[in-house]
Amino acid sequence: MQRSDIPVYVQVRNQLWQWVQKQQLGSQERLPAERELAARFNTTRVTVRQALGQLEAEGVIFRSNRRGWYITPQRLIYDPSVDIGFYKTVIEQGLTPRTETLSKRLIETPNWLADISGMEKGAPIYHIVRRRSVDLRCVVVEHNYINPLGCPGLLDQDMDLSIWKLLREQYDLLPGQRNIEIFPQALTGVEAEALGVNSGSAGLYMQRLTLDKSGTFLEYDREYWIHDALKVAVQVNNN
């Protein structure tokens, strides 16, 4: 078989991936070290890195903080037309969610947020930053901006589970209308740092504007996901 038109690193990628599948490595299990792979596939470390980079781009392996390469877990399935929230989404898929609150404070509504939310510029608003994990893998940094009017003392509460559960059960606040936007965007700055990836790494951005049933602004949310952790899935019935 003529193989000379396939770049060497693609050939190594194919051999490597076949081998990994034969080993039946499971979710988040570690691949052998690069020099070991280079020896096994009789090639250079440069080529092994290219092959690994290719598999990373495809989202089937990921690198963790210079500690090595690992098998990417199944993507979390998220249906924006239902939008049941991170905590419930993860639990329902048999996975383990974890949330760390990085900061929570009362700030003055900045101009850009006033434009989006209809809050007055400078009016007090809660700003909560959290990092969330699935099976101990950090997958998203989330910024929540919440209208404090209906939920005094919110910042004294534990934010490490679901904010919407808190709003519903402690404050009787329910979402009316939600506008959700999702698109690919590179991770940079504090979000990249908090997620342990290089600035400029591929990511998925999501924002969510929530009004209550009377049309009053309740919450605005910005989420910065690593590129390989989430899949949007929607079912449409025209019946």
Contacting positions for a copy of itself (CB under 8 A): 53-54, 57-59, 75, 80-83, 174-186, 188, 200, 202-204, 213, 227-228, 230-239
Alpha-helical (H) ranges within 103-176 are: 111-117, 163-171
Distance from the first to the final alpha carbon of the chain: 50
| Count of C-beta atoms within a 10 Å radius of residue 234 | 9
Residue 158 CB, nearest distance to a copy of itself (Å)?
25
| Element housing 169 (H / E) | helix 163-171
Nearer to a copy of itself, 39 or 82 (CB): 82
Nearer to a copy of itself, 48 or 230 (CB): 230
| Count of C-beta atoms within a 10 Å radius of residue 238 | 3
Residue 181 CB, nearest distance to a copy of itself (Å)?
5
Report the alpha-carbon distance of residue 187 to residue 237 in Å, rounded.
Answer: 35
For tokens 């691949």, name the residue: 31
Nearer to a copy of itself, 104 or 143 (CB): 143
Residue 47 CB, nearest distance to a copy of itself (Å)?
15
Residue 225 CB, nearest distance to a copy of itself (Å)?
9
Nearer to a copy of itself, 26 or 189 (CB): 189
Q: Is 150 helix (H, G, I), strand (E, B) or coil?
A: helix
Nearer to a copy of itself, 42 or 214 (CB): 214
Residue 230 CB, nearest distance to a copy of itself (Å)?
7
Residues 52/34, Cβ–Cβ less than 8 Å = yes
